[in-house]
Amino acid sequence: MEAQMLKDKTAIITGASYGMGQSMAELFAEEGAAVVLTARHPQMLDAAVNRIRSKGGRAVGVTADVCSTEDTKKVFETALKEFGDVDILINNAGIGEQKMIDETDDDWMMFVMNTNLGGPMRYIREALKIFLPKNDGVIINVSSVNGIRPFCGATYTSTKGALNTLTKNVAMRLIDTNIRCNAVAPGATVTPAHLANKAGEQPGGAEMLKYSGHFVYFPGPECDPMDQAYACLYLASKMGRHVKGQVLQVCNGAFL
């Protein structure tokens, strides 16, 4: 049996009840990590946790909203209580949307910003309370190709560009430590959110694509959620030990 790349590590993964987050949690558990999964909906979260446990993995779920500071603290407290430490943080939770700027009201703008950017900032801030004293840890932000090619909704794309900048800013702050911060930027990946987007079912529908569609190229095949999980595994394991402040784009060459 091959050695597990994350043996004896503990990882917190937000938005892990389905899609990319679930794949990341399953892969990390297979590689020996204890995983703490968060999501807003307890039924889907419990199913994801039970699936990992049924395969012999160590997992616990915490129903939490990344917009809540108190929920954020609860996630880390649970991780420490259940597994004794935290070594890896993956900020995966986010909201996809296609609202054009002229259809974006303040409430929607603040909600998406608070989730997609505020959430990672809260979790990084809390993680550093653990990582800095021991001078070790891994932070991975799940961004998007929209961070550099903003063809989706105005607020969504802005938050992903900001998340790329936050990734580099945090890496600079931690440059003289053994804590590394990077991002993975998925392209078209077959998840429920992506399928809803293709069907014009996300907030804003497909109206924005009338303007941005000619900037988008999908050669196929689309990525699988596990493709993004493998990228996170690279960054979280010793394979990525000297990678800091980078945004790793996984898009099958669709957005070069």
pLDDT means per 10 residues, the chain with 256 residues, are: 88 98 98 98 97 98 98 98 98 97 98 98 98 98 97 97 98 98 96 86 92 80 95 98 98 90
- Is 3 within the bounds of a domain? no
Per-residue model confidence (pLDDT) at position 168:
98
Tell me whether strands 88-91 and 137-142 are parallel, antiparallel or unpaired: parallel
Enzyme catalytic residues: 156
Q: What is the residue range of 156's domain? A: 10-242
- Is 144 within the bounds of a domain? yes
- Burial string for 226-246 (b: 16+ CB within 10 Å, else e) reads ebbbebbbbbbbeebeeebbb
Structural contact between residues 10 and 17, judged by C-beta atoms closer than 8 angstroms = no
What pTM was computed for the model? 0.96
Structural contact between residues 72 and 130, judged by C-beta atoms closer than 8 angstroms = no
Per-residue model confidence (pLDDT) at position 77:
98
- Is 252 within the bounds of a domain? no
- Is 250 within the bounds of a domain? no
- Is 1 within the bounds of a domain? no
Per-residue model confidence (pLDDT) at position 102:
97
CATH number of the domain at 214, please.
3.40.50.720
Hey, what amino acid is at 206?
A
- Is 175 within the bounds of a domain? yes
Nearest to 142 by CA among 128, 163, 126: 163
What backbone phi and psi angles, to 5 degrees, belong to 175?
-60, -30
Q: How many CB atoms lie within 10 A of CB 179?
A: 21
Number of domains in the chain: 1
